[in-house]
């Protein structure tokens, strides 16, 4: 728990994007490119330069000084990142921010053996939470997703990770074409045996721009149908709840004290800065306005831009009230605990469709109390349509 002394200051998160992977998964629309040899020094200098530029921007514009509360190395595959770059980023943060004593520092990792070899070095430079992209404990599903690891690699990786890190999470994907309640139940039972403190379980989605998208346009069926998907979702929630996991966000499940603090910053519409190709950032510059930044996605383009301008930001602007309102609702309603709406937003028909709000309350899909709003368990299955109606 954070001490009272720092709770009144802005909680800031840092997202660092590493844009390379060993291969490109056919369902993935993240900013990831096939790994290539890089000039480590150039990349290291570029990350530090952009980080310093971004920290300066934050200091100039943010409403209050910040406590750095979390760092998240995401990708791509950040376990392919040279350790010296991560180390220098973490060292530089000490010059730039007041650091929360209980700072959470997460790295995403793939279970392939070469990446697992790096984990003890990751721990020694300060990473304290690992998020493993297991994706499935069923070999057929891993084959369907064309993952570069097998089920044994996952067990080995978790064995190493749990010996090193206090907090270990794993990502899973469900909803492939032939999946049924029975096969997913069997897999969930295997997942429970891993005794993880945190699980992310995502419904497979076919995203524009991916190989799956092209294949689905040609008529291939790549996910189970919508009714089965809803059924698998309810089953996931029920099974994990019965085994002590709280569904604290639509796809995220945690044992007590194991919620991902970094992702909570996003869902609570708090402040974070992002560095690295394709990273985004958003932070408050007044009670109802945010500054946002979007960085160039192309790794080479980013590198050249940072060398020239000290940063690779391609779009930066100030969000106005309607955009900030949208972010608060979109992100906050994903949380089971819901969100407190600021006074300027609560009950304001300019941003919220109050007729739909009343209707959803009457139907038991939304619960409100004072300024607080949350989607009920029954409402979670209809989250997207609830949000789009509330936002007009």
Ligand X SMILES: C[S@@+](CC[C@H](N)C(=O)[O-])C[C@H]1O[C@@H](n2cnc3c(N)ncnc32)[C@H](O)[C@@H]1O
Binding residues (CB under 6 A) for ligand X: these are 21, 27-28, 30, 74-75, 77, 108, 110, 133, 135, 171, 173, 202, 204-205, 207
Report the side by side order of strands in the sheet with 366-369.
Answer: 339-340, 372-375, 366-369
End-to-end CA separation in angstroms for the chain? 38
Asked if omega into 336 is within 30° of 0 (cis), the reply is no
Q: Which of ligand X, ligand SF4, none does 24 bind, CB closer than 5 to 8 A by kind?
A: ligand SF4
DSSP 75: E
Residue 130 or 325: the one with the smaller Cβ distance to ligand X is 130
19, 243 in Cβ contact below 8 A?
no
Task: Rule CB under 6 A: say whether 332 interacts with ligand SF4.
Answer: no
CA-to-CA distance for 18 and 156, rounded, in angstroms? 24
CA-to-CA distance for 251 and 236, rounded, in angstroms? 9
Torsion of CA 138, 139, 140, 143, to 10 degrees: 130
Task: Rule CB under 6 A: say whether 24 interacts with ligand SF4.
Answer: yes
174, 201 in Cβ contact below 8 A?
yes
Where in 120-159 is the site for ligand SF4 (CB under 6 A)?
A: 133
Residue 32 or 223: the one with the smaller Cβ distance to ligand SF4 is 32
CA-to-CA distance for 6 and 249, rounded, in angstroms? 25
Q: Which of ligand X, ligand SF4, none does 15 bind, CB closer than 5 to 8 A by kind?
A: none
Q: Which of ligand X, ligand SF4, none does 135 bind, CB closer than 5 to 8 A by kind?
A: ligand X
309, 340 in Cβ contact below 8 A?
no
Residue 73 or 97: the one with the smaller Cβ distance to ligand X is 73
Q: Minimum distance between the CB of residue 264 and ligand X, rounded to whole angstroms? A: 17
Residue 209 or 219: the one with the smaller Cβ distance to ligand SF4 is 209
| Among 202, 74, 78, residue whose Cα is nearest residue 145 | 202
Asked if omega into 273 is within 30° of 0 (cis), the reply is no
Residue 77 or 284: the one with the smaller Cβ distance to ligand X is 77
Q: Which of ligand X, ligand SF4, none does 171 bind, CB closer than 5 to 8 A by kind?
A: ligand X
Task: Rule CB under 6 A: say whether 25 interacts with ligand SF4.
Answer: yes
| Among 161, 160, 141, residue whose Cα is nearest residue 150 | 141
Q: Which of ligand SF4, ligand X, none does 381 bind, CB closer than 5 to 8 A by kind?
A: none
Q: Which of 12, 21, 86, 260 binds ligand SF4 (CB under 6 A)?
A: 21
Residue 154 or 303: the one with the smaller Cβ distance to ligand X is 154
Binding stretches for ligand SF4 (CB under 6 A)? 21, 24-25, 28, 30, 32, 75-77, 110, 133
């Amino acid at each position: 728990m954070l001490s009272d002394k720092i709770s009144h200051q802005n909680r800031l998160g840092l997202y660092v994007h590493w844009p390379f992977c060993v291969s490109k998964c056919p369902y993935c629309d993240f900013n990831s490119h096939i790994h290539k040899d890089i000039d480590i020094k150039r990349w290291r200098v570029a990350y530090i330069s952009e980080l310093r530029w971004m920290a300066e921007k934050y200091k100039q514009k943010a409403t209050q000084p910040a406590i750095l509360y979390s760092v998240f190395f995401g990708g791509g595959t950040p376990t392919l990142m040279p350790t010296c770059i991560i180390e220098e980023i973490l060292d530089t943060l000490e010059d730039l921010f007041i650091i929360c004593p209980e700072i959470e520092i997460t790295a995403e990792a793939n279970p392939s053996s070469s990446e697992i070899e790096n984990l003890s070095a990751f721990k020694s430079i300060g990473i304290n939470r690992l998020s493993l992209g297991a994706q499935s404990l069923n070999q057929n599903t891993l084959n369907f997703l064309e993952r570069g690891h097998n089920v044994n690699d996952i067990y080995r990786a978790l064995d190493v990770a749990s010996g090193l890190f206090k907090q270990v999470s794993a990502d899973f994907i469900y909803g492939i074409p032939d999946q049924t309640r029975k096969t997913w139940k069997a897999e969930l039972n295997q997942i429970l045996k891993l005794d993880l403190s945190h699980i992310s379980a995502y419904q497979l989605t076919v995203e524009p721009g991916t190989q799956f998208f092209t294949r689905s346009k040609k008529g291939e069926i790549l996910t189970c149908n919508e009714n089965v998907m809803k059924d698998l979702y309810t089953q996931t929630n029920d099974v994990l709840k019965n085994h002590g996991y709280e569904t604290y966000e639509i796809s995220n499940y945690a044992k007590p004290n194991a919620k991902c603090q970094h992702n909570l910053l996003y869902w609570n519409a708090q402040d974070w800065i992002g560095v690295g190709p394709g990273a985004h950032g958003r932070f408050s510059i007044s009670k109802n306005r945010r500054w946002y930044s979007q960085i160039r996605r192309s790794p080479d383009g980013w590198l050249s831009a940072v060398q020239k301008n000290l940063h690779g930001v391609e779009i930066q602007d100030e969000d106005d009230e309607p955009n900030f309102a949208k972010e608060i609702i979109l992100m906050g309603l994903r949380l089971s605990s819901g969100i407190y709406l600021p006074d300027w937003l609560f009950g304001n028909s300019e941003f919220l469709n109050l007729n739909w709000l009343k209707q959803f309350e009457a139907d038991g899909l939304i619960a409100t109390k004072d300024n607080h709003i949350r989607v009920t368990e029954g409402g979670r299955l209809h989250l997207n349509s609830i949000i789009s109606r509330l936002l007009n």
